[in-house]
Amino acid sequence: MNAGVQFKMQQEESLSDSLKDLKIIISGTFERHPRDEIKKLIEKHGGKNVSSISKNTDYLLAGDNIGPSKLEKAQKLGIKIISETDFEEMIS
């Protein structure tokens, strides 16, 4: 008798490599995309979502009402700050 659990990995569809190996943190609220959708878009285009800013972060995707401490830290570390529109252009 065979008993057990089989797991199927659901692979996310890759849309492009336009963000390949880029580490992106998001902060604030966005007009055209919910945060969860933005996170999925980052991954589907080859990027990686990060939860905290460090010298290894490539971009801060800044929406409205961004946390002032994140913004200040990104500026101090010289991390490029992009808008939702900039992000859309990067993945189009």
Q: What is the CATH number of the domain that holds 52?
A: 3.40.50.10190
Per residue in 4-46, pLDDT tens? 665 554 555 788 999 999 999 999 999 999 999 999 999 999 9
Whether 7 is covered by a domain: the verdict is no
Which residues are registered as beta bridge partners of 23?
48
Quote the percentage of the chain above a pLDDT of 70.
87
Whether 12 is covered by a domain: the verdict is no
Q: How many domains in the chain?
A: 1
Which amino acid is residue 82, in one-letter code? I
What is the pTM (predicted TM-score) of this model?
A: 0.83
Q: How many CA atoms lie within 13 A of 39 on its CB side?
A: 11
Structure tokens at 48: 């990686």
Mean pLDDT throughout 68-88? Answer: 96
Residue 38: give the domain boundaries.
23-91
